[in-house]
Amino acid sequence: MFRFFALILCVFALGPGVLAKDVTVHGFVTTVNSPTSFEVDDYKVTRDHKVLLDLEKQPNDKSLTTVRPEDIRVGTELEIKGEYDEESGELKAKSIKLFSDDTLSVKRTALLEKLPVLTADGSGWSGTIYADGQRISITSATAVSLSPNHSERCAGSKDRGAGSPPFNLDSLNLDTFVHYEGVRRADGLVEASKVEFQHAEVENGERKLWRRFAPKVTDPDYAKFQPGQLKMHWKTYTILPDQQAQAYIANLGKRLIPAHQKELPASDPLKIPFQFFVVEDKSFNAVTYPNGVVIVHSGVFGVLHNEAQLAFVLSHEISHAVEKHTWQQHEYHRSELIALRAGGALVPGGLLVGNLLASGISSQYSRGLENQADRVGLEWMLAAGYDIREAPQSWKAVSEKKGDSTTNPFWSSHDNATTRRSYLMAEIRNNYPDVDYSNLRRDSDEFHQIADRIKLPEHPKVKPRK
């Protein structure tokens, strides 16, 4: 979900006239001037050579044992404690903790964005893969393979000599997931140690998930300005009775669906029947269901400043469905439950999420999916012709309007507006250095007309802006 999270800012009492205050800032490096001078969003950080760099180790991250000054680069995740001068924006670091997992070392799964261009020689494959909003480098040292999906495994079991299908470029298409592991170089390129391809499919359990969330829609009476109703399993939404607003969000959403997904025939099981709704809710939020139902709260229009920012919110949500995040998380939780029980833990299925949250496992995994939705959302936003620099600005708009009070238990406790904004800024600088922004779209009159109508629901026929 596209939510705003509370800013971690610890302020201690200072005497009158003292400008500096003690703060803790968690975010991603957006600019590096030197190993002792860099920026995290609006914070200008300076580090004395005596300030040591600490490493926050994750259980699945074995790439680093110590931190070097050169490990602070654009995109590195840091927690900085120090003295902050509000007038100058300077933050003098007293301690710095580096988080290498998913920044310096990566382990992810995503759909291919383009067909890979790889060459083979006697020692292996080499080339570049484009997926996950990333450039992934393949060298002769990279282990490259094709893993059978569930249907292929079942078919192979009938032929005992079949084994795993051999890897060749002709076996890949844009309905192929790539699991990649490696390290991020200073230029943002991911140097892969392992790449595993697998053809996408809709398993029986995922089909059941789609059916469980089949939408039951009672259309609004637009003439009488009577709201409609949308039932999604256990959740019921009130559909905004504004036909122009509903048409606008549907048209914008359809423009942002990736081209390959739009081109799939309706009979293809991988085709997602996207539907978009604006519902009556003053909170800032948008939600995606696995079958492509995208729900935008009316409160979003009171926060965002332009159409490009709304395009990012929708791209982020669309990517959750296309990248199968709900199903991935379902399978991840099931695997964790099996592992817990195998270890002798008595864990009822209904308590699974609570147990995973208590251990921090679910939070970290969900955060990785949200990061991916940001990365892929940028890619599709740009493909639709929108200025991707407005993506981090959407978080700034949330911060300005909503303050710092809302939290989400499925995210890491340190995620906040600064974290999300700086993450997007770093991704743009690492992966889109050559973008020509001169012809990209930022805004439209229609966005503001719709926003005006939604802000005044009791007056559905608000005069359009001049």
Question: Is residue 1 situated within a structural domain?
Answer: no
Instruction: Give me the pLDDT at residue 16, please.
Output: 41
Instruction: Give me the pLDDT at residue 232, please.
Output: 94
Instruction: Give me the pLDDT at residue 64, please.
Output: 61
Instruction: Give me the pLDDT at residue 60, please.
Output: 56
Cα–Cα distance for residue pair 417/420, rounded to 1 Å = 5
Question: Is residue 13 situated within a structural domain?
Answer: no
Query: Residue 64, class by beta-carbon neighbours within 10 Å (0-12 exposed, 13-18 middle, 19+ buried)?
Result: middle
Residues 173 and 285 in one domain: no
Q: What is the pLDDT of residues 306-338, one digit of tens each?
A: 999 999 999 999 999 999 998 888 887 666 544
Question: Is residue 412 situated within a structural domain?
Answer: yes
Question: Of 171, 186, 201, which residue sits at a domain end?
Answer: 201
Question: Is residue 14 situated within a structural domain?
Answer: no
CATH number of the structural domain spanning residue 83:
2.40.50.320
Question: Of 179, 201, 223, which residue sits at a domain end?
Answer: 201
Question: Of 78, 104, 130, which residue sits at a domain end?
Answer: 104
Residues 263 and 403 in one domain: yes
Q: Is residue 98 classed as helix, strand or coil in its secondary structure?
A: strand
Residues 298 and 398 in one domain: yes
Query: b/e for 69-91, b at 16 or more Cβ within 10 A?
Result: eebbbbbbbbbbbbbbeeeeebb
Instruction: Give me the pLDDT at residue 165, please.
Output: 66
| Contacts with 236 (C-beta within 8 Å, 6 or more apart), sequence order | 229, 230
Question: Which residues of the chain are modeled with pLDDT < 50?
Answer: 2-17, 337-361, 405-413, 459, 461-466
CA distances to 298, 317, 451 from 248, in Å: 13, 16, 11
Instruction: Give me the pLDDT at residue 357, please.
Output: 40
Handedness of CA 372, 376, 377, 379 (dihedral sign): positive
Q: At what angle do helices 445-455 and 243-256 cross, to 10 degrees?
A: 140
Cα within 13 Å of Cα(121), Cβ side: 8
Cα–Cα distance for residue pair 192/181, rounded to 1 Å = 5
Residues 272 and 377 in one domain: yes
CATH number of the structural domain spanning residue 197:
2.40.50
Instruction: Give me the pLDDT at residue 349, please.
Output: 35
Question: Is residue 24 situated within a structural domain?
Answer: yes
Residues 72 and 148 in one domain: no
Residue 297 bridge partners (DSSP): 279
Please count the structural domains in the chain: 3
Containing structural domain, residue 55: 20-104
Residues 154 and 270 in one domain: no
Residues 329 and 406 in one domain: yes
Residues 54 and 166 in one domain: no
Question: Is residue 297 situated within a structural domain?
Answer: yes
Residues 354 and 295 in one domain: yes
Q: How far apart are the first and last CA of the chain?
A: 34
Residues 412 and 373 in one domain: yes
Instruction: Give me the pLDDT at residue 403, please.
Output: 59
Residues 89 and 213 in one domain: no
Cα–Cα distance for residue pair 29/80, rounded to 1 Å = 11
Question: Is residue 306 situated within a structural domain?
Answer: yes
Instruction: Give me the pLDDT at residue 160, please.
Output: 54
Query: b/e for 240-260, b at 16 or more Cβ within 10 A?
Result: bbbeebbebbbebbebbbbeb
Question: Is residue 367 situated within a structural domain?
Answer: yes
Residues 211 and 197 in one domain: no
